[in-house]
Each structure stands twice: as structure tokens, then as C-alpha cells.
């Protein structure tokens, strides 16, 4: 791990002493979850093992691409996942599982999952602005990518209301801009 990543992992371990990083390929649970996600999304979520990072309990399960990610990209990912660690502490493991899987529907209208991911993706945008610059956070490609996570099979079509997602993203960017301006002042 490079410098920023090591510092971020140390910071997370200070807050979550049991935190650890495990490669998904070494996790039977991850391999089983991959098969289940492919089944329930009719193949729509076919990148769980290769592109997605997942916090369960105090463990971050990472795909093999973790090794090829830049130091900054790993820190942005760790900041996103730290949000989920904090959520898990706040709601407990059982509460997180319930929020992630039940309200309202497991697929197509998953308000609980959407709320959890809104909070984490907001941190992704903030971290991007801080580490890569405001222009990168404002990049339409990042916006498309994040909104697609809510609308598509990645998270089981968790929130189908594009206009609401667009408003959320616009409000988030406005807040991030204000934070960046305040930091410059």
C-alpha cells in the first residue's frame, strides 16, 4: 500500500480496531454472494467479484483490482466504505442487513439501501473534490456513474426516480462547492 492508503487504513483502524481488508477471491462468503447477486439480478450484477468493494461487519472485501488502483482511488474508496462502517456501528449488523435488504422492496424500490448509499456516495464526491479537485467531482462522467448505481442492476435497481437522484446530486455538488470555497477563504 502507498502512503495515503496506509494513513487512511491506520485512521480507520483507530476508529474500528477490528477493521481488516480481505480479497474477495479468498472469501467463500463473497463467492456465494456473487452467485446469489447474479441470480437475483438476472446477470445484471456480474461484476461483484471484480469491481465492487463491500463492507460486511468490520471487514472490507476487495476485488483483485485493489492492487492496481492508484493511491488516491483507494483512499476515495476507503472513505466511502468508512461511511458504511459507521452506519454498521450505528444500526448494528442486523439493522444494516434489514435496511439493506427490506425497506421497501429488495429489488426496484429499496429505500433503505438507497439511503445508506446516498450517504456513502456523498462521501465519494467529497473525497473526489478534496483529493482530485473540484473539477473532477463536477465531471459529468462521475455523475453518470454514481446515478447509474442507483438506477441499474448493480444494487438491484434500488431507486428508480432519476429526477430525484439528479436533484440530490445537484444539491450535493452545490454543498461541495461551498465547502471548497470556504476552505480557500
C-alpha grid cell for residue 147?
Answer: 446515478
Give pLDDT, residue 185: 80
Say whether pLDDT at 108 is over 90.
no
Dihedral (Cα; 56, 60, 64, 69), 10-degree rounding: 140
Rounded to an integer, what distance in angstroms lies between the CA atom of residue 61 and that of residue 95? 20
Cβ partners under 8 Å of residue 141, min gap 6: none
pLDDT tens for each residue of 136-178: 999 999 999 999 999 999 999 999 999 999 999 999 999 999 9
Give the mean pLDDT of 93-106.
84
Sign of the CA dihedral running 57, 60, 63, 64: negative
Burial 22-54 (b: 16+ CB within 10 A, else e): eebeebeebeebbeebbeebeebbeebbeebbb
Assigned C-alpha cell, 64: 483483485
Amino acid at each position: 500500500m502507498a502512503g495515503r492508503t496506509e494513513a487512511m487504513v491506520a485512521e480507520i483502524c483507530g476508529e474500528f480496531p477490528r477493521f481488516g481488508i480481505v480479497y474477495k477471491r479468498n472469501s467463500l462468503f463473497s463467492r456465494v454472494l456473487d452467485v446469489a447477486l447474479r441470480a437475483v439480478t438476472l446477470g445484471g450484477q456480474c461484476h461483484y467479484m471484480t469491481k465492487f468493494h463491500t463492507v460486511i461487519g468490520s471487514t472490507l472485501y476487495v476485488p483483485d483490482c485493489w492492487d492496481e488502483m492508484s493511491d488516491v482511488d483507494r483512499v476515495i474508496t476507503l472513505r466511502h466504505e468508512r461511511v458504511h462502517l459507521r452506519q454498521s456501528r450505528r444500526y448494528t449488523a442486523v439493522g444494516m442487513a434489514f435496511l439493506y435488504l427490506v425497506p421497501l422492496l429488495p429489488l426496484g424500490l429499496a429505500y433503505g439501501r438507497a439511503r445508506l448509499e446516498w450517504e456513502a456516495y456523498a462521501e465519494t464526491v467529497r473525497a473526489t473534490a478534496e483529493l482530485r479537485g473540484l473539477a473532477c467531482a463536477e465531471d459529468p462522467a462521475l455523475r453518470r456513474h454514481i446515478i447509474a448505481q442507483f438506477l441499474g442492476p448493480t444494487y438491484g435497481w434500488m431507486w428508480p426516480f432519476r429526477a430525484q437522484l439528479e436533484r440530490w446530486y445537484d444539491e450535493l455538488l452545490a454543498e461541495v462547492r461551498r465547502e471548497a470555497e470556504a476552505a480557500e477563504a
